[in-house]
Structure 1
Amino acid sequence: MAEMLTIFDEKGHPIGIKERDHVHQDGDWHETFHCWMFHMEGEKIHLLLQQRADHKQDFPSLYDITAAGHIEAGEDILLAGVREIEEEIGLKVVPGELAYQGDFKEELKEGSLLDREICHIYLLPWTSDRTFTIGEEVKDIVSVPLVDMEGLMDKQESVKGVSILTEKEKAVTRNNLVPHEKRYERYIFHVIREYVAKL
């Protein structure tokens, strides 16, 4: 059965329901859940990036948000988020663990794809006693220092990540990251630093 999404106008008002494939073809605004996980190594913040599976239709093999997905029509945002986290990376979380960081409107373009998302952004601190069990949509989970991710925005060519699953080193570059808008990345890095400063 086709995944049905609520679509919105430019001002964020719901205007109907449409099949997911048609939403992307037509460039309709729709809701997504974004969960950025991070962990601390001493004073250093490390982001956890999901490496998308090689067979994914959109942005295969690229590094992206730790866990994310579409919110189906009529679905509660937090319950959708909990579902996506378990489906993609095998962590069982409860809604109260997710720290809401606001909404962000972003447009991603690739070929004929126009993905216009109203992103509901959440943070989740991760500790090594929580084991990832990746689903078929995910290839790896890679830890990268936040300061290095910020460096990638300023033309640094490559940074070193480490797989949480295999402990192997992985190179992260602008070319193997999902091409989010720079202003989205700046927003994410800012809210993570603010969140950690209050811990």
Structure 2
Amino acid sequence: MTTEEHVVLVDPAGRALGTAPKTSVHGRETPLHLAFSSYVFDHEGRVLLTKRADHKITWPSVWTNSCCGHPLPGEPVDRAVVRRLSYELGLTAESADLMLPAFSYRAEMANGIVEHELCPVYRVTVDAPATPNPDEVAETCWMPWKEFAEGAQNGLLAISPWCREQVPLLAELGSDPLTWQPASPSDLPPAARP
């Protein structure tokens, strides 16, 4: 018997308020909850982009960053990143570097479904090809970071709303994603701190 996955609900200051079933938190009245985004790079500085599976509740068939997800209650966020990269893309990562500790966003789809997440952003470097899980990912594409960042910021690429907001913040960290200096875990919101 499998138990339903839960997410951590948070207040605007990033303090945990409790948990809720993951299936209940993506609708028209989506409560703020803890999530993460990750950007996977190879050793040439190319970023791995993914196209969300067409049956996803939020932003189906939309291109976005490498992997997003939700830490389980009590799970360190960087461990959740590693877990989801394995599940969604078949990638083995040793670690995930915290880049944007306090990123948060709210976005609404045309049908009224809302994403509302406190969403720290991580960088991961790998040296293996991705093996997408079709339940999560329809397609993948490696793109030079500079080309992707410019296209995303100039509106030339159709990407998810959270990715569109994250890319300019990541670009401020420098032109070479492999040399970005990680943030301190102490900068994470309280609900996300190890």
Residue 178 of structure 2 is aligned to residue 196 of structure 1? yes
1:26-105 matches, cutoff 5 A:
26-39=29-42, 41=44, 45-94=45-94, 97-103=95-101, 104-105=103-104
Write the letter of the residue equivalent to 2:69.
G
Verify the 8 A CA contact 1:7 1:23 in the aligned structure 2: no
Q: After TM superposition, give the deviation of residue 182 of structure 1 in Å.
A: 4.3
Q: Aligned in 2, Cα 1:46/1:190: closer, same or farther, shift over 3 Å? A: farther
TM-aligned CA distance change 1:192 to 1:87, over 3 Å:
farther
Alpha-carbon deviation of 1:147?
A: 2.5
Please tell me the residue identity of whatever aligns with 2:92: K
Cα distance in structure 2, aligned partners of 1:120 and 1:46 = 21
What SS does structure 2 have at the residue aligned with 1:191?
A: coil
Distance in 1 (alpha carbons) for counterparts of 2:12 and 2:120: 16
Equivalent position of 1:4 in the other structure = 6
Name the larger-Rg structure: 1
Give runs of aligned pairs for residues 7-18 of structure 1, distance below 5 A: 7-18=9-20
Which residue is equivalent to 2:161? 179
Which structure has more strand as a fraction of its residues? 1
Q: Aligned partners of 2:137 and 2:164: how far apart in 1?
A: 24
Do the aligned partners of 2:93 and 2:126 also contact (CA within 8 Å) in 1? no
Q: Report the RMSD for the aligned CA atoms in angstroms.
A: 2.3
* Structure 1 equivalent of residue 146 of structure 2: 147
- Structure number with the bigger relative contact order (C-alpha 8 A, sep ≥ 6) is 2
Contact 1:108/1:181 (<8 A) preserved: no
The alpha-carbon deviation at position 24 of structure 1 amounts to 2.3
Asked if the contact 1:48/1:144 (under 8 Å) is kept, the reply is yes
Matched residue pairs, number? 174
SS state at 2:60 partner: coil
**Contact 2:105–2:116 (CA under 8 A) maintained in structure 1:** yes
2:120 aligns to what SS in structure 1? Answer: strand
| Structure 2 match to 1:135 | 133
TM-score after normalising by structure 1? 0.76
Letter in 1 for 2:63: Y
> What secondary structure sits across from 2:80 in the alignment?
helix
* Aligned CA distance change for structure 1 residues 121 and 70 (closer, same or farther; 3 Å): same
Alpha-carbon offset, residue 16 of structure 1: 1.8
